[in-house]
Structures are given as C-alpha cells and as structure tokens.
Structure 1
Amino acid sequence: MKCFYIFKDKSKNMKGKANLAPELGGQRKSDIPSSSRTAKSLPCPRSIPELYNVSEHNLQVFSFQELRKATTGFNRLLTIGEGGFGSVYKGTIRPANGQGDPIVVAIKKLNNHGLQGHKQWLAEVQFLRVVSHPNLVKLIGYCSVDGERGIQRLLVYEYMPNRSLEDHLFNRGLPNLPWRKRLEIILGAAEGLAYLHGGMEVQVIYRDFKSSNVLLDEDFKPKLSDFGLAREGPTGDRTHVSTAVLGTYGYAAPEYVETGHLTSQSDIWSFGVVLYEILTGRRTVERNRPAAEQKLLYWVKQFPVDSSRFSMIIDPRLRNEYSIKAARQIAKLADSCLNKNAKERPAMTQVVASLKQIIQDLEGGSTSTNKNIAESSQSSLFRRRQNKV
C-alpha cells in the first residue's frame, strides 16, 4: 500500500458525460522521497483517497441543468461570493428523496481553469466527504461534466446565511460583532482546525485559513470552508510536505513562502493573523492606509501588548464593550502563533484550551470597563496630539 497520493485528473476519459464519482490515482514516484519508496517502514495511516473510498457520507450527484435551474441560470443577483476560483450562488434544490420543501444551498461554480481548477474541485470533494465536524462546512453534492462547451465543475454546500467573519469584521454595512461573539467564533474556528490537525486518522493541513473562509450559520456558529488547497500532512519520519506555494497573501507563514515546506504550523501562523484581525477590525493588508499602517502585523508591533498604548489597536467599533485583560491575552496568544520559529508555535489543541480559558474568565464578570474607558481616553488624546504634529 502506498502512503501518499495525489488526485489524478481523468478528464480525458470523461468527455461528454457526468461523473458518477470522482476518481483517484496514485502519486508519481518523483513526488515521493527515495527513502519513503525503499524503506520497509511501519504500516502508515490510510490516505484521504483511501478514507474516501470507505466513507459512509453520501454525496448527491447533480446534473448541470439541475444546478442551472437552482440558480435561475446562474443569475448574478444570486451571487453571494466571488474569488479566483469562480462564483458562489444562493440556490434552491429538491430534497434527495424528492419530498418536502426546497432546500436553500450555496452553489460554487468554478472557472474553467483546466487541470488546476479540476484538482482543487476534486480536493474539496475528497476532503469534505471524509471530514466530519460541527465547525466544518457540509458538502451536499457536486456536478462534474465534460462537454463540447468545456468542463463544468460545481459544488453544493449547506447555506450559511450570516456570510463570513471577514464580512462582519470589515463591512461597515453589517452590524458590529460584539467582543464575546468574536471570541466564540474564533474558538469554533480553532476547534475545526484542531480536528483537521489531529482528530482523524490522517492529518490535514488546511493551507488557506483566513477570515473569509470562516462562514457563519444562522446562529453565528463558525464553519471552515473552501478545502481546495488542503493537503495531507507528513507521515512517518517526514517533517513537512513539499508543495508549490499557494494561499492568500498576508496569511501565509514566512517559512512556507520561502521554502515551500508545508506543516500544520503554517496554519497556526495564519490563525495568529486572524486573531489580530478580530482584535483590530483591520485587514491583514490595507493599501489605502499610511505606509506604516498598511501591513497589520508590522503596525501592531508598534503597540506592545504590555504597554499603555496597547488599547490603540483595538477595533473602535467595540467602543469600551470589551475586556482589556482578555484583549491582552488574545494578543499574546496571537504573538505565540506568529513566532518566527515554527517549532515554538503552540499546537491547535493548546490554542483551543487558551481560548476556552479566556472565555471562561469573561463569564466571571471581570470586564475591566473602567480601565477600558481610561485607556480609550489616553488613546484619543494620543491621536489628537499626532494630528497636531
């Protein structure tokens, strides 16, 4: 049994018909270190493709016509998301048994990227059929058709009515997320990552953790989405996975960008970036700000967590309705996740434990409101002095 696999494109054999099930293939020998090919090591855990083949999660297979109808011809008015992958539409489908009311879903239609687009689509189908956790988005089904008009790759997910964490942090047209709710959302996201890193037979490296991939259901419960870049983690005596550098600028760990060496610690770095986003209400990169403030991680370094100026980085939309003690704890946790030495970053299980403790302390009623007001006043005074200068 081989320990490592990638998903092999079979599009040349599928022209003109829908695929009833995504196909798998073995990894090229050139992708496997010689030591892994020759050593007679201990039995390795099953791979994602192997787990996929024995998974009991049933996915619906949709025709392209069904999903066209579900979105009223992919009506632009039903667009709820866009990116390099393509567009996401709000749609309605019939229940699998054909009975009951229509179900509201999110339908992702990938651009015709050829092989790369197909690989990311296939990766999502494989991973989301295998994983199962309350903080991971549920995949309902898929569509794969190769015809004269090109390839069509679509995914059908459960619908998340409250959009994404990114929307609520940065879209001023949406209600502000209260401090406690921000912590609950990031805790749920951390639990999802912890499951990927250590809750299954195989480790999964998410590789694209960012606020826009943290979706929110009707109760603002977070679920990680978009597994097109996910990879299996290293096994045996391997310390990392070597891969092309993919992801989103501003969230990728520096060692991964420099070397292409991917580990679960790469996700930890990305998590640290999002922790600072929920603290500050700022994106990781904002080109419309002064040069010294454009890169979030560079800017926050000017306001050390134990300094009197720390409160200046707190999102103004939180006003004084937050715990300064908890804010400092979150910043310290973020700093540990952003350690330049990847080996010294905490594991996601440790991050989850820290977040639970911070939230538990909030329940004790220590909100430090008076101290918040005092520090807020100092910050306002400092800003006025800066403006005069």
Structure 2
Amino acid sequence: MMRISTYQFLIRVLLPFCLVLTSLEFDPEDKYLIDCGSLDDTSVGDRVFLADSLNSSTLSTPEKIFLNASSNSIPSTYGKALYQTARIYNGTSRYPFTMKKKGRHWIRLYFFPFVNQYLNLSTSKFSVSAQNFTLLKDFQPSGAPTVKEYSLNMTDDILVLTFTPSTNSFAFLNALEVISLPNELIPSGAKTVDSNGENRNLERQALETVARINMGNETVPPQNDTLWRLWTSDSTYLASSALVVFVSNIGFVNYSSGRVSENIGPFSVYGTATKLNTVSDEGYMINATWLFHVDHGFDYFVRFHFCNILNPVPDNLYFNVFLNYEFAAKDLNLSTSGVPYYMDVVTRADSVDQLSVSIGPSSVLNTLPNGILNGLEIMKVSNSKDSLDASDAESQFKTTTSKSKVWVYVGSALGSSVIVIVLVLVFALLCRRRRRKHMVHSTLDQYAMTGVSTEEKEHSIESSIISQSKRGYRFPFAAVQVATDNFSESQLIGVGGFGKVYKGALSDGTKVAVKRGFPQSRQGVAEFKTEIEMLSQFRHRHLVSLIGYCDERNEMIIIYEYMENGTLKDHLYGSDQPKLNWRHRLQICIGSARGLHYLHTGSNKAIIHRDVKSANILLDENLMAKVADFGISKTGPEFDQTHVSTAVKGSFGYLDPEYLTTQQLTDKSDVYSFGVVMIEILCGRPVIDPSQPRERVNLVEWAIKCFSMGGMEKLVDPHIEGQAKPESLMKFKETALKCLADLGANRPPIGDVLWNLEAALQLQGSDQREGNEQSTNLYSETRVSTAQFSMGSVDDLAGVSMGRVFSQMVRAENAVDQSQKDTNI
C-alpha cells in the first residue's frame, strides 16, 4: 500500500514540475510575443509578452489607440492579463515580422470583446489576412475570450499581418504570437480518407486549428506543453459518455522507443485516454463517437494520437478508426505498450457542418471488442481562394487533374475519327428528335405555366429525375424565375446546407418559398428526390406542403407553401424576431409533435424525419407550427424488424446517441431530437454554444445536470420567466427528460409525448397575464385526442386538399397564358 502511495505522489506531485521544465526545451528561432494595448510587459508563466508601446516600430497603423478593460469586464474564469488591454485599429493596419527561419510558423490571435466606458468591442467588424491568405473576413468577436490559431509555411523573409476594419467599423486585438515550429510537427502531406486514398499536399496551404482535444476527460494547460498548446477535454464532444471509460496512466508513456517526440504531444496527452466501455463478449459491437462543428466546403487535416496505456496490457489490441463514418484505419494494431503513435489523414466536409470521429471494435479473430484514443487535432485547410473563412467555402466537387488528363487522352484518340462520329451523331439526333416530338405532344398538357417555351418543356420532360407519378407538381424554370424575380437577393430569406431559399409569388398571388439547391451536389440530388417523393405522399396541417418542383437545366428547386413567421429557431435566439411567450411555445411543441406523430403512424411504414431541429420547424402567420425539410427522411423498418441500419445523418447537437453508436435508426431517434428541441424552447439558447463556460457549452448535458440538482430556474429563458405555472413547467420538463433517455427503448413514442404536452397546456390554463390575449385562441384544436390521427382524417387535418389547390393554380396559370397569347395575336 505504501509503495502505491509513493508512486501516486511521484506522478501527481513531481510530474507537473517536470512537465513545466520540458516546456523550456523548445526554443524557437522566430518568437514574437506582443501584449497589444499594454504599456508594460506581461508575464504568462515563463513567457514574457512585450508591451505594445515598445513595439511601435513593428506596427504600421493610422493612429495609436489603446483601451483598458474595466475591472468587472473579464469573467473570473478568464482573468488573464493578456485580455485586459487591446489595441484599436480604425483603419487598415499592418504588422510586419522579420523571419529568420523558413518553414511552418504559428500565428495566434487573442480576442476578448470587453466593454468599458468608451467602447463596446463586440460591435467591431473586421478582416485579418497573412501574406495572401484570408484568415478572417467580416469577423465579429463575441462571448468569452478566445484564441485563433493558424499555421503558415513561410518562404518569404517577412510575414505581414493585416487588419482591415469593415465599413463604418473598427478592428481590435488583445495579444498575438508569431512562432516558428519544429520541422517534424506538420507534414507536407497526408492521405485522404476515401476510396482512392490519395496523398493531399499541404505545403502551400494555410491551416487553422479547429479543435485540439485531450482524451480521458482532462484538460492539458499550455504550461504542460512544450509548444504552449491548450488541449481541451473530450467530454464536451462525446456523443454518449455511457459508452466509454476514462483512463490515466502517465507513467506508462515511453518516448525513447518510438518516432514521436514531446513536440508532437506531451506526456499529459499520451498518458490519458478514452476507451470503449465493452464487456467480454465478441458479439457486443459499439462505437464511441465524438462530434465537432466545422465549416462545410473545406478540407480538414486530422491527427489521431494513440498510446496503449491500458493496465493490464491486452494480448492484442486491434480496433477500427472512423472519420465521418469512413475508415481512417481498419484493424489498427496498438498492442505495443506505452509507445506514442500518431496518424494523419485528410477529409472533406461537403454539405454538413459536422465532423465525426469514432473508434470501434475490430473484426480480427480472437480479439475482444476494444478501442482507445488519446488525443485529436483538427485543422481546416485553406481552399483554392487562399481563404480559411466560412464565407469563402467552395463547391464540394472539383474536377481532379487526373481526370483532366484522361479527357485529354480520350480527345486525342477521338480526333482522328471526328468526322465519322459527327455524322453518326447527326443521324441519331434526327431520329431522336422525331421520337421526342411525338412524346412531347402527348405530355405538354401537364404544363400551363406563364411564359414557358416548347423547348423548355421538352427539356424538362427529358431531364427529370423524379418518378412519372409526381409530374403534376412540376414547374418550368422560367415560371420559377418570374416568381422569384430571377432569384433576386432581395427575395432571399434563408441559406442552408442544401441551398438558398427565396420568397416568391405565383401569378395568382400565392406566396411561396422556393428552395434552390447548390449546383453539382451529389448528396443534394438524393435529398432533392427524397423530399419530393416524401412530401407528395402526405398532407397534414402540421407538415409544410409541397407546391411543386423544377429539375430543368440541372436545377434542383422545390416550391413550398410560404411560412410568414420563419423558423422556430429565429423566435428563440439569434435574430430580432419577437420572442414567444410560454403558451405559444407549448402550442408550437404540440403542433410539431402532431406532425411527427402523423409521420410515424400515418401509413403502413413509419416515416422517420432524421433531422428534427428548431430550424426545421416553421411558423405560419398565426404561429402555427409545421415540420419541414424531409431531404434525409427515411422509411421505417418492416413490420417484423426493430430498426433500419443506415449511415448516420442529422444535425450536430440533435443526433440520437444510440443511433450514432449503432447506426440503427428507429422512430425513437426523432423522439430524442424532439426532446432537444423542447430543451431549446425552454431555455431560449442554441444546443451547442462555444461562447458559454465549459460546463454549459452542450445545452442538453447542462439541462440534465440542472434538472438532477433541482436547479431548473437556471435554465428557463428570461423572456418567459414568471409566465409558466409550476405544474405546467414540471410536466414539460418530465416529458423532455423522457425523450432524452440514452436508450431508445426507454423513450416514449411521439404519441405519448403529444399527450403529455397537451396535459402541460391544460395545466397552464388560461392566463391573460401572459401578455398576448390571442394566444388562448391560437390553436382551436389543441385538445384533439391522439387517437384521431389516422389516414382517414388526413384531408380534414390538412384543412383543404392540396390536389384541389394545385388544380386551381393550373387553371389560373392557363388563363394567364391564354390571355398573353391573345394579346400577342
């Protein structure tokens, strides 16, 4: 017992001192540390940031403007000296730095938008560039202190940082670092995670650190890292903490027998880990998953850190590593004990703002299910525009050099016989045109849209990817252009992963929402088809209705009924839309639950939405809720099955943890996501908010913790404080918690959720003090029994048959079309 205590003493007490000493070992050739706006040097650990006034020759700026934080501006959690002063830039300003060493350099920019009696720094808006790379564009810092870290491969003798305020605004900076890096730290290239596994060259690219994570539920401060890096605990990013255990065994780490140095990762990273919480059962296969927010349209460099610190050491430790649900490493062998190892890969975030990392059991014979991960680094790679800013994201599909070469060879081969080919094509086209004209004359009566030429109609018929039964919903492209004023930016009402959404009006005055997909999106084609097929199957007053679609000219356009009050999300946070009172929020929950209940029970097979979130719940002119966006919806399991096995899709923060780890989808996955929406409605804040203190970043985790400690008053949105009756609030909370159970079997069906929400509304009763008298009459059907939701009542619930509506539109468009023809005559 005494021997163990002594060992623990050495590890816990003496090791931190050793780690601090190791941080002195790396001495960069280029090292610029500046405390901006400060009149005195500032010590941070054993490093000294020079006063800005002593480096006036380094900075070229129109005016010298310093600002000090007031005593209560900086939260105690972030009470660091570097954030107490700032330099203000009221015009384009440049920092030139002389470079002694070629190669990779770090640029670290410190921002904290404090407020004092002179200025509120959160009102700033500016751009930052380094050499020809755009680091930030129209950046508006907000929330807690933050550090933006970038890496550039310097080939010039001078590095120039440029700060450019936006129009009628200003820029600011609290501190900065420019440091040369060890040669081995960042490679010249890395393998891509795809079927080709090609090497991606990174030499001329700039990198931005998105996440630097230490596994094992422990944060590693900069003082314990030779390169002064902050390694954040992985607990915030875990999809389910119940599936893992945290391990710490720093004494096992041995750098001497491997190729990894402490500059790659410190003892504190390789000596802690998160491992699968598995039992000794070869049939028990689960994955541990971490989720990270990223900007789509960029490549990402990802470094995995591994070290087998398990005690006792397993005979053979094999496991799989996944990145965005594709293999980053299959059957990785980590059987050697204590030797640090890292693996670099590159992936692309195409149409979603989420990157997932998973470890899972291997299928190698005679191995128990297991897996371990010690650390993770994610860095955004600059694009062809030399930009790292999200506003400069590129289309996700490019023509590669190798493909271009293939076409050159093919073109050369065909050149010798081009005349013969042209003659054959002309003959084939003549025959095809005769057949096409015959087909067109038999189908043109489906179209009666304004100003549509016969040629456009023919093209529309040929290019459709939608089944023949859905042709009645089809709008020609010219009609959509007229409805949206040729997709005018003044008509733009939203932008999402699929594309842009415009407000429009048909010739009869009907308001519509027009969603136009981004071109060349392979995933978009599948979502486009799925949404049209789904929406054309069902009608319900709490599901957004399909008006039509257009697939001419490779366009992917969907036309919906227009929802006057936008998204539920906009009424909860992040916009200037009016905030909802408690009764409105209850009624919106009830309406949304009714829409989901119809999806789950209104046909022979359940329809699983898969992307339930506040941004996909729309509100009409009476604030009635309608569920929208069915692009990734999925037909439920057969009668004799319990789930559908499918790749994980959904939105960051709303994903069912069981679905994430097993890839088994059920209607209870929608129930979990709906539970997250309920917490959003109660709290009035985003589900993931990095500006919050660490324990509050993940809204669901924080809410569950508060509920368990009886501190619900900390959660309730101030806009509804005092409005909700305690018994109504308690019923709502209990229902949300049941929805958020880790296992789907422990969650209620959506019909039970609906029943409980109606009970919460009844408990709320009628209360004129809520400040909106018409809220009591907003939903006349709020106490309809869930038993009424059957296929026989669809038209009643929808209020009016959309088939009749569409036929009226066609007749109206025909009348306009005929009128125009008469005028032309």
Bin the TM-score by the shorter chain.
0.7 to 0.9
Percent of aligned positions that are identical: 36
Is contact 2:727-2:763 (8 Å) kept?
no
Pick from 201, 205, 216: which aligns with 2:608? 205
In structure 1, C-alpha distance between the alignment counterparts of 2:514 and 2:466, rounded to whole Å: 21
In structure 1, C-alpha distance between the alignment counterparts of 2:732 and 2:743, rounded to whole Å: 19
Going by fraction, where is helix more abundant, 1 or 2? Answer: 1
When the two chains are superposed, the root-mean-square deviation of aligned CA atoms in Å is 2.4
Q: Which residue of 2 aligns with 1:137?
A: 544
Q: Which residue of 2 aligns with 1:327?
A: 729
Q: Which residue of 1 aligns with 2:519?
A: 112
In structure 2, C-alpha distance between the alignment counterparts of 1:279 and 1:113, rounded to whole Å: 39
Give the secondary structure class of the aligned counterpart of 1:18: helix
Q: Which residue of 1 aligns with 2:662?
A: 259
Aligned AA (1:18) = S
Give the secondary structure class of the aligned counterpart of 2:503: strand
Matched, 1:294 2:707: no
Is contact 1:19-1:144 (8 Å) kept?
no
**Could you report, residue by residue, the CA deviation over 1:223-258 in whole angstroms, capped at 9, with x for unpaired residues?**
111100111000132211111111100001001111
Is contact 1:287-1:294 (8 Å) kept?
yes
Is contact 1:281-1:315 (8 Å) kept?
yes
Is contact 1:59-1:142 (8 Å) kept?
no
Q: Which residue of 2 aligns with 1:349?
A: 751
1:361 is displaced (CA, Å) by 1.7
1:23 is displaced (CA, Å) by 3.9
The structure with the larger Rg is 2
The number of equivalent residue pairs is 314
Pick from 236, 240, 245: which aligns with 2:648? 245
Q: Which residue of 2 aligns with 1:282?
A: 685
Matched, 1:89 2:502: yes
Pick from 579, 582, 598: which aligns with 1:176? 579
Q: Which residue of 2 aligns with 1:69?
A: 482
Going by fraction, where is strand more abundant, 1 or 2? Answer: 2
In structure 2, C-alpha distance between the alignment counterparts of 1:113 and 1:157, rounded to whole Å: 22
**Could you report, residue by residue, the CA deviation over 1:133-187 in whole angstroms, capped at 9, with x for unpaired residues?**
11000100000124xxxx2110110000100100000135121101000000010
Matched, 1:233 2:675: no
Q: TM-score, normalised by structure 1?
A: 0.76
For structure 1, list consecutive stretches of 5 or more residues without a partner in the other structure.
Answer: 1-13, 25-51, 96-101, 368-389
In structure 1, C-alpha distance between the alignment counterparts of 2:684 and 2:703, rounded to whole Å: 12
Is contact 2:614-2:677 (8 Å) kept?
yes
In structure 2, C-alpha distance between the alignment counterparts of 1:19 and 1:286, rounded to whole Å: 47
1:282 is displaced (CA, Å) by 1.2
Q: TM-score, normalised by structure 2?
A: 0.37
In structure 1, C-alpha distance between the alignment counterparts of 2:515 and 2:632, rounded to whole Å: 15
In structure 2, C-alpha distance between the alignment counterparts of 1:225 and 1:263, rounded to whole Å: 19
In structure 2, C-alpha distance between the alignment counterparts of 1:19 and 1:244, rounded to whole Å: 33
**Could you report, residue by residue, the CA deviation over 1:39-75 in whole angstroms, capped at 9, with x for unpaired residues?**
xxxxxxxxxxxxx95x8xx843211122122211211
For structure 2, list consecutive stretches of 5 or more residues without a partner in the other structure.
Answer: 1-435, 437-455, 770-825
Matched, 1:79 2:521: no
In structure 1, C-alpha distance between the alignment counterparts of 2:539 and 2:598, rounded to whole Å: 9
Is contact 1:90-1:159 (8 Å) kept?
yes
**Could you report, residue by residue, the CA deviation over 1:186-243 in whole angstroms, capped at 9, with x for unpaired residues?**
1000000000001222210000000010000010001111100111000132211111
1:265 is displaced (CA, Å) by 0.5
In structure 2, C-alpha distance between the alignment counterparts of 1:335 and 1:301, rounded to whole Å: 7
In structure 1, C-alpha distance between the alignment counterparts of 2:502 and 2:768, rounded to whole Å: 43
Matched, 1:224 2:627: yes
Matched, 1:314 2:721: no
Higher relative CO (Cα under 8 Å, sequence separation at least 6) belongs to 1
Runs of 4+ in structure 1 over 3 Å off: 19-24, 364-367
**Could you report, residue by residue, the CA deviation over 1:324-355 in whole angstroms, capped at 9, with x for unpaired residues?**
22122211111100111211100011011111
1:82 is displaced (CA, Å) by 0.6
Pick from 520, 524, 530: which aligns with 1:123? 530
Give the secondary structure class of the aligned counterpart of 2:459: coil
Matched, 1:159 2:562: yes
Q: List aligned pairs for 1:365-376, cutoff 5 A.
A: none
With over 3 angstroms needed to count, the CA separation of the structure-2 counterparts of 1:103 and 1:364, relative to structure 1, is closer
In structure 1, C-alpha distance between the alignment counterparts of 2:754 and 2:637, rounded to whole Å: 22
In structure 2, C-alpha distance between the alignment counterparts of 1:19 and 1:295, rounded to whole Å: 48
In structure 1, C-alpha distance between the alignment counterparts of 2:605 and 2:465, rounded to whole Å: 20
In structure 1, C-alpha distance between the alignment counterparts of 2:594 and 2:656, rounded to whole Å: 20
Is contact 1:121-1:153 (8 Å) kept?
yes
Q: Which residue of 2 aligns with 1:270?
A: 673
Pick from 194, 206, 209: which aligns with 2:597? 194
Aligned AA (2:635) = E
Aligned AA (1:64) = F
Q: Which residue of 1 aligns with 2:282?
A: none
Aligned AA (1:65) = A
Aligned AA (2:744) = A
With over 3 angstroms needed to count, the CA separation of the structure-2 counterparts of 1:59 and 1:219, relative to structure 1, is farther
In structure 2, C-alpha distance between the alignment counterparts of 1:154 and 1:351, rounded to whole Å: 34
Is contact 1:207-1:247 (8 Å) kept?
yes
With over 3 angstroms needed to count, the CA separation of the structure-2 counterparts of 1:175 and 1:114, relative to structure 1, is closer
Q: Which residue of 2 aligns with 1:18?
A: 460
